[in-house]
Structure formats: C-alpha cells, structure tokens
Structure 1
Amino acid sequence: MKERGDNMRILVISDSHGQLGNLNEILKEAGKVDRVIHLGDAVGQDEEIREMCGCPVTIVRGNCDFYSKNELVEIVEEENVKIFATHGHRFNVEYSANDLCNAAREEGCSVALYGHTHVPDVSYCKDVLVMNPGSISRPRQASGRPTYGIVTIGSNGEARADTYSL
C-alpha cells in the first residue's frame, strides 16, 4: 500500500489486441504500481489482465472491443488528480488531441489518456497533460517496439507522464 508522501504510480497500457505476452515483462520492468489503466482493445481479456496486475485495474472499451460492457470513458481520481481515460476513436485522435483535450477539460480533468493510434506520445493541450502509451502488442512507431506509460502523481498533486519501450 502507498505510504503517506510516496508518489502514486499508474501503469497505462493500450491496444493489447488479445496478446498479453508482453504484459508480464512490462509489469516487471515498471516495478510497483498502484493502479493499471488499460485504454481499450483488450478484446475480451479483461479478467486475465486483472489477474496479472494484482492491483486496481480500469479498462475502457476500444473500437475492437465489440462485446465489451466497459465504458467508452472512465474518470479516475487519484490523489486529487482527475484523469480522463478513453480509447480515443470517438475523439478523432488520429488527427489531433483537441477534441480529447476539450472533453477532458469539460470533466475537470487535468490528465487525458488515450490509445487507438498505437503510437506513444506525451504532450500538453492547453493545461491538460495528454498521453498515449502506444501499444503493448502492435506498435506502429518507427522503432517497432512495444510501449507503455507511467503516470506519476507527486505528493504535491503534480502529474507527470512518461512512455517506455520494451
């Protein structure tokens, strides 16, 4: 359990597309995390993901999650930081993060997380920290390496986002 004054660490993954082979390696490499957020296209492997992670897990519905009952958007609040989590396909993220950013701001979120493009990115859109962790199974960036993200929330309530390659 998180001790007072420790940073909150959230593992962010996306687009596993039924291939969880890299998740164990990511969990080892990432170290202790307090929560996992999966940004969609888990294609029916929700329970397997929850069992593997061993901490609270939030999973949103992606465009390939045809029979999922997961929500398209989840608002996760940790350490007084509101996080907007979505797959992104309904927010035109393949063109820009503007629609996503505006939706996050409307919900009072200072962090917006999305997947769908399979390309990792960390940026700011106005005052919203925006991160795409890329894909753990089907990367599309030049390196072709599976990627994931970590959102760290400091004891001062400041959020930071970083992406990592396997």
Structure 2
Amino acid sequence: MHKILVVSDTHRKDENFYRVIDIEKDVNLIIHCGDTEGSETQMQQLSTAPMRIVKGNNDFFSNLPDEQEFEVWPHRFFVTHGHRYLVNMGSTDIRREALVRGADVVIYGHTHKPVAAEIDGIYVFNPGSLSYPRQEGRKPSYLILTIDDEGELTYEIKYLELF
C-alpha cells in the first residue's frame, strides 16, 4: 500500500506544509507541484518521506525540473506545475499531454484550486494551495492518494482548519 501526500503553491509560506506532515502519518511519498519559492531544500530536510518537487512559474532561480514522470505501480504519473498547459482554462491540454506520455495520473498546481477527477481514464489532480487558496471558502488544501496492493487508486482532497 502506498500513501502519497500531494501539495502545491506554498510560496515560501511553509507553516501549513509542516502542519500537514505532522497530521498525515505513514506517507510513502510527498509530491510538491511547484512554487516553493526557494524553500524546497528545507522542506526536503524536514520531510517525513521522500519528495518529488517540480518547478513552478514563481521558482525563478530554481534548479528543480519542470516536470517529472515516474511510476507507482501500476500507475504512471506525470507531474508539472501546469502553467505551460493552460490549466487556468481547464484540463484539456494537460490531459492530452498525459495521454501522449502514457500517464494515467496527471498532477498539477498553479490555479490554487483543488481538483480531483477521473476523466476519460485519466486521473486529474490539483491539490490546491496550502498558502493562498482561491476556491470558494478559501481553506488551505492538499491531496491524499492511496494505492492499495491490487493497484486501485483512491483519492481525497483535505482541508486545513484556519486558526
């Protein structure tokens, strides 16, 4: 069984990231969809699990990769910040790219609005933002993905309570 924590758009305001890693136990992998704004090294050092981080449109001086592709059996993941795929206009372009890459899971950030759906056989996820949420209610959000021993993927968008 794999438990994956997905976050995005922390914008160097990292307190909520650290709250989430205290809340979510037994995480095997943490995916950050970009816009760390320079705090990726500290996040990796304080993380409770291995991290995969991509560069966002505000990570100006970062050496992070723009995109990552990897497998968590039996799923193939495509992770990117999303700004190069017009995600503010919907998921059509990024889903098309996932299909071209042979991925059945695409994860992105950028919009600061959570998304969790399966569309035409492709899982489309955006964890929203832990620092500057833009969806109705504006609660910081993140995503938990679980892949069981048979390879079935389940997902849940979670929200942090504001103090």
**TM-score, normalized by length of structure 2?**
0.94
Once the two structures are overlaid, the 10-residue window that deviates more, 140-149 or 22-31, is 22-31
Aligned pairs for 1:3-152 (under 5 A) are 7-152=1-146
How far the C-alpha of 1:32 sits from its partner, in A, is 1.5
Kindly report the root-mean-square deviation, in angstroms, between the aligned alpha carbons of the 2 structures: 1.0
2:89 is paired with a residue whose SS is coil
2:56 is paired with a residue whose SS is coil
CA distance in 1, matches of 2:9, 2:131: 7
Aligned to 1:3: none
Query: 1:97–1:125: 8 Å Cα contact kept in structure 2?
Result: no
Identical-pair percentage? 35
Structure 1 unaligned segments of length 5 or more: list them. Answer: 1-6
How far the C-alpha of 1:107 sits from its partner, in A, is 1.2
Query: 1:8–1:79: 8 Å Cα contact kept in structure 2?
Result: no
Number of residue pairs matched by the alignment? 160
> Per-residue CA shift, 1:21-66, capped at 9, x if unaligned?
1112111222210000000000111111101213210100100001
CA distance in 1, matches of 2:86, 2:5: 24
CA distance in 2, matches of 1:109, 1:17: 27
> Per-residue CA shift, 1:108-130, capped at 9, x if unaligned?
11111010000111112211001
CA distance in 1, matches of 2:142, 2:91: 19
1:44 is paired with a residue whose SS is coil
